[in-house]
Structure 1
């Protein structure tokens, strides 16, 4: 029971979804009477998302000023995090081209963004439209989520560069972030009722075939994530320190893997990952920066799931997912979900919202992604957490040099 404790709320949400789906199965079209309860829940979430994204991202960046003295480690760390996230995204992209879990179900939940106006714009105009807004008031809309994220990052950077006056702003942002997180918690009290009502109406309208799509998505994600865990983490360990690195990594990583599965939390696994990286031989200043930061902004498992969620929605709405522009946007969203968005409270939710707004899906698609995220979360958390240890090995390789592990153990024996 103690091991199930971290999963109590996700299990409650899954139980509510199952209850609602069963009710919708039996009630059929009559279940539409429950839809307003689901709409209330969605509206509450969409109302809070704009201030949440702005405050939490700008606060995170504004409070990173103390890491400037470790610029070389930090720069290498960020490069490693981005590159492994891109690799994870590409791996899942190839996988969903073979099996798209959303295919075979036709869903029409509402009107997305108009494609005709987008088609009339040049590529450069689309980039400007995606990354910026013509007026400040236009940022205060979920329709301009990417522009809001960019503005929040710039604002947080400016706060961090403002010295003493910026410190008071950073403290205010951190306090406001805590309040917004509490607000999300209050709204989530209504989640079991809202999700049960929403899925009752959804299954009542579209039938049980939607449930089969979830099973197919899980059947795609789990094998791909486990193969990524086994093969690519071995590859990263080999790049870091050759065959010795591979042996050291697999000889020390399983306690961290089991801990992340048992707790459902990368943060809770930090002490075990620190111990694993110490036994592997990662220098203390590197592991003490990479592991804690990786627990919040290094999420290969989240990158894998972000691509799965995108392809899942494309399949449900019977939209082709083969265009290079869609692929590049998907990788960008996956990196944001796995780094920027996972580094703030409520990152999974805001990452799912980013998917919906960038691709023009209706807001009602958010609960569909939320349930998929809950289903793949255990293995995603394991990949996220254990990826931090192998990332610390890669950072050590590029900061300390090719023979970093050999030198570490030679120094240990000589002392």
Structure 2
């Protein structure tokens, strides 16, 4: 019993907190307004801590790599893993919709004003804004997370090229990385209370809407997404580490999954993912590169929802989704959408506008796309965030690196 509490104590407390929060959201919704500030404070602490964690984790990892060929190999394998598995998710979703077709009723009272700002911007302007910022202070916003990741990568590369002075700076980066790991461990001790409060808010907010106009497509997404989550992530863990990889991944994926489900934020799940990677035994030099980059660039949940949203828009307009050119374009859009959907709650408007502009979808179908994106967000975030860890396992396998020994639950 003591061993069970030692290995799973934090997860058990998380489950207790989330269960209590769910019950409050269902039976005492009037109390949610009192609890939500607690969840917001916890989430804000995570967001504030994630920015320095990203900087120290990425920069120190790059700075400690002696061979530049190793870094190039890791990035190359990561790119192949990301694109291949995203295409697998998209193709499987198309096959699922072909096998089990669903339709959606159009909601005339939909959120027609939920379009992104600056619609006059060109795609070039949006790409520049996505990859860079014009002032250093703007790097520290989670809305500029990819620009911040690129900056951290460049700092790590510059450190490696700075000789003796660079080695001194590397020691600072390593110390900062350790300090931030300990800070996040302290913050996560409040997880049962913070996530429980936020989960109560999610249940109260999303629960009634799941059975409205979009019941069939949402039902498909949640059933298909859960099956994909269990089957394909287990398959990837098996490919990465053999039969022992499956229980190893799921044992340490519980806390990240619960964090993603309750916060609807890939970025807030990043600390839990890094802790899970360490416990699984993924080498630090791989986990600290793949997981932060995957947080922005690798989104299985967004891939599945992208296909579903295109399908629903076509069904509303009585267009044929299953034409070969349409399906191939949908897969291409999905790869791009998974790379532009930011790691922030209810993000992804840029990706949705991409599919609207390419297909020429009229305004009447736009609200349906936006609403489905919001309602699938909890499960989509779980798929988006926790896939980073299993992707890091695959990169470890294909790069020839050795898994470290499993660490006990903190």
TM-score, normalised relative to structure 1: 0.58
Q: Give the Å deviation of 1:98.
A: 2.6
Match of 1:245 in 2: 245
Verify: 1:281 aligned to 2:281, yes or no: yes
* In structure 2, distance between residues paired with 1:340 and 1:264: 17
Match of 1:399 in 2: 399
Q: Give the Å deviation of 1:225.
A: 0.4
Verify: 1:409 aligned to 2:371, yes or no: no
More deviation in 255-264 or 301-310? 255-264
Q: Give the Å deviation of 1:74.
A: 1.8
Q: Are 1:341 and 1:348, in contact at CA under 8 Å, matched by a contact in 2?
A: yes
Match of 2:92 in 1: 91
* In structure 2, distance between residues paired with 1:353 and 1:174: 28
Q: Give the Å deviation of 1:84.
A: 1.3
* In structure 2, distance between residues paired with 1:179 and 1:397: 34
TM-superposition CA deviations, 1:279-300 (whole Å, max 9, x none)? 1110011111112222222110
Please, what is the CA RMSD of the aligned residues?
3.8
Structure-2 change in CA distance of 1:249 and 1:346 (3 Å):
closer
Figure out how many residues of one structure are paired with residues of the other and give that number: 276
Verify: 1:372 aligned to 2:360, yes or no: no
Matches within 5 A, 1:167-186: 170-172=132-134
TM-superposition CA deviations, 1:38-75 (whole Å, max 9, x none)? xxxxxxxxxxxxxxxxxxxxxxxxx99x9695322222
Q: Are 2:90 and 2:304, in contact at CA under 8 Å, matched by a contact in 1?
A: yes
Match of 2:382 in 1: 382
* In structure 1, distance between residues paired with 2:331 and 2:80: 15
* In structure 1, distance between residues paired with 2:300 and 2:85: 7
TM-score, normalised relative to structure 2: 0.59
- For the residue of structure 2 that corresponds to 1:84, the secondary structure is helix
Match of 2:260 in 1: 260
* In structure 2, distance between residues paired with 1:353 and 1:223: 26
Structure-2 change in CA distance of 1:255 and 1:106 (3 Å):
closer
- For the residue of structure 2 that corresponds to 1:374, the secondary structure is helix
Q: Are 1:337 and 1:347, in contact at CA under 8 Å, matched by a contact in 2?
A: no
* In structure 1, distance between residues paired with 2:133 and 2:107: 48
Match of 2:127 in 1: 152
| Structure 2 unaligned blocks of 5 or more | 1-16, 30-57, 111-118, 145-210
Q: Are 2:73 and 2:399, in contact at CA under 8 Å, matched by a contact in 1?
A: yes
